[in-house]
Amino acid sequence: MNSNKKISIKGLTLDELEEFFLSIDEKKFRAQQVFNWVNNHLVFNIDEMLNLSKELRVKLNESVELQDLVLSKIQNSVSTQTKKYLFESNDGKKIESVIIPDEKRNTLCISTQVGCPLDCKFCATGLMGYKRNLTTAEIVDQYLLAAKDYGKENITNIVYMGMGEPLLNFKNTLNSLKIFTHELNKVLSKNRITLSTAGIPQKIKELADSGLKVKLALSLHSCFEEIRTRIMPINKKYSLQQNLDACRYYADKTDTLITFEYTMFKDLNDRKEDINVLVKLTNKIPSKINVIPFNDIKHMDPEGISAELSPTPMDRIYDFVEELRKRNVTVMLRDTQGDDIVAACGQLAVKDN
């Protein structure tokens, strides 16, 4: 490790923080104190950590970093309570996170990559291409800075549904989950954190084996391999069948329900035969379905199949949901929230990165 480079301690799990303190000849218990300042008191200035000695504070100021992102802009939706944060990293990359309130909860949606390599045809982030993985500290800092603005106790849920594919940034995503779910980190519990993936079967299994027991969502969008491949090119590499096997494994191992996300595209996945296969699928895997209206991505000037996709009209979505419910499928219909500030699902994309 480059000895001049400061260590971003917002990205250290408690175990790593303990190792760090031992490596600078300090007592292990300092790790808990600092973890507590950062993650519970949202104190990001060493000099305000009053239970550390003056000498230790000088030492830490020389060796640790506590500013991984800078909050550069906040946008409030006029029509809903949605709030969008624009952050800038130390190398000038821009990242977005969104708070989506509803009657029962306030959900923070965070990003794991700058851009995304998956190229899903309906997603604005995909259209902007892939720049790099976020560090663990940058993933955690989205939450810490949003919590500082919004109130830690007011953020009840975290979803990994912002920019990027979390399972392609596996180690940093896993470490961020370890930090959020650590017993010393107050407020958030495991069942209030959901990771959404386009489907990397091996990593789904590894996440199941990690023992973290967060909730898993799979971006399903079609039960037919050929249609899914058309809108999600990753399906060529990892088939739906492989992903469904991995989901089954995840559900069994963690004793949780899988959420299947289902964005509705006119005449593509809103037909009678789609209902029939969805019913069969949810009978096989303990799960529920989250139906999402397609948020348009015209602000990205899409071409090809991206330009051909159009949203299923709302009345048809209601009928679709109703029919699934009649057949005993648990379905949630997600609102389109924050589209006036392009903060809705799949609309996150920052130009000039």
Q: Which residues bind ligand SAH (CB under 6 A)?
A: 122-123, 161, 165, 196-198, 219, 261, 263, 292, 294-295, 297, 345-346
User: Which C-beta is closer to ligand SAH: that of 123 or that of 214?
Assistant: 123
Q: Among candidates 80, 74, 81, 79, which has minimal Cα distance to 96?
A: 74
48 annotated active-site: no
Listed in sequence order, the residues at least 6 apart from 134 whose beta carbon sits closer than 8 Å to its beta carbon are: 89, 95, 111, 112, 113, 114, 164, 169, 172
Smallest distance, ligand SAH to C-beta of residue 202, A = 16
> In whole angstroms, what is the distance from residue 172 CA to residue 240 CA?
25
Residue nearest to ligand SAH (CB): 346
Is 120 designated active site?
Answer: no
Output 6 or 288, the one with its CB closest to ligand SAH.
288
Taking the C-alpha atoms of residue 26 and residue 56, their distance in angstroms, rounded to an integer, is 9
Question: What is the distance in angstroms between the CA of the first residue and the CA of the last residue of the chain?
Answer: 27
- Pick the catalytic residue from 96, 138, 165, 261: 96
Catalytic residue of the set 109, 116, 120, 345: 345
Name which of 9 and 292 has its Cβ closer to ligand SAH: 292
* Residue 147: CB atoms within 10 Å: 19
Q: How far is the CB of 122 from ligand SAH (least distance, A)?
A: 5
Question: CB 71 → ligand SAH: shortest distance, Å?
Answer: 22
The least distance separating ligand SAH from the CB of residue 198, rounded to whole angstroms, comes to 4
Phi and psi torsions of 329, nearest 5°: -95, 140
Sign of the Cα torsion 245, 246, 248, 252 reads positive
Cβ proximity to ligand SAH: between 161 and 174 the closer is: 161
What positions carry a catalytic annotation?
96, 345
